[in-house]
Amino acid sequence: MELRILNLSENKENKLFKSPECQQLLEIYEGYYSKIGFHLPWVAYVILKENQVVGSCSFTGKPNHEEVEIAYWTFKEFEGQGIASFACKELISIAKKEDPTITVTAKTAPENNASTRILQKNGFNYTKVVQDEEIEGAWLWTLPK
């Protein structure tokens, strides 16, 4: 597996992005980049497996107060193959390579699920309940420095 930067002006006609999930992803980031900006390496990435997009992962923006939040999404048909775990590890690696002192965080739905297990396996600790635009009463997870 590998990550590839999701650029500002991806060609929606590219065969790499033919799936409905990819089209949805492109639509989401077209609006999201205009909101958060495009600041490498604090951007979105597509996850490629055998030259096929199987999900995405991203930073939710550039670091703020020495913290950066990560997020990941495995397309439904590829769940259970370690893709989100790979994405989580890669985002941590990118963040720590860019700034070894940065605190990496993530938010999940307020329930034990695959995402919470991935974060726990990668060393994250549950911190508290926070408000989130998409997840009301989200659980905040923090990777200790």
Please give the domain boundaries of the chain with CATH numbers for all domains. 2-102 (3.40.630.30)
Question: Token pair 């500002």 is at which residue?
Answer: 8
- Region 39-66 average pLDDT: 94
pTM above 0.85, yes or no: yes
Per the CB < 8 A criterion, the answer to whether 122 and 114 are in contact is: no
Please determine, for residue 140, whether its predicted confidence score (pLDDT) is greater than 90. yes
Statement: residue 134 has pLDDT above 80 = no
* CA distance readout (Å), 33 to 57, 62, 90, 121: 14, 11, 21, 30
pLDDT category at 33 given cuts 50, 70, 90 is confident
Render pLDDT for 101-120 as a digit per residue (tens, 0 to 9).
999 999 999 999 999 999 99
- Helix 114-121 to helix 83-98 angle, to the nearest 10 degrees? 40
Section 22-47 average pLDDT: 90
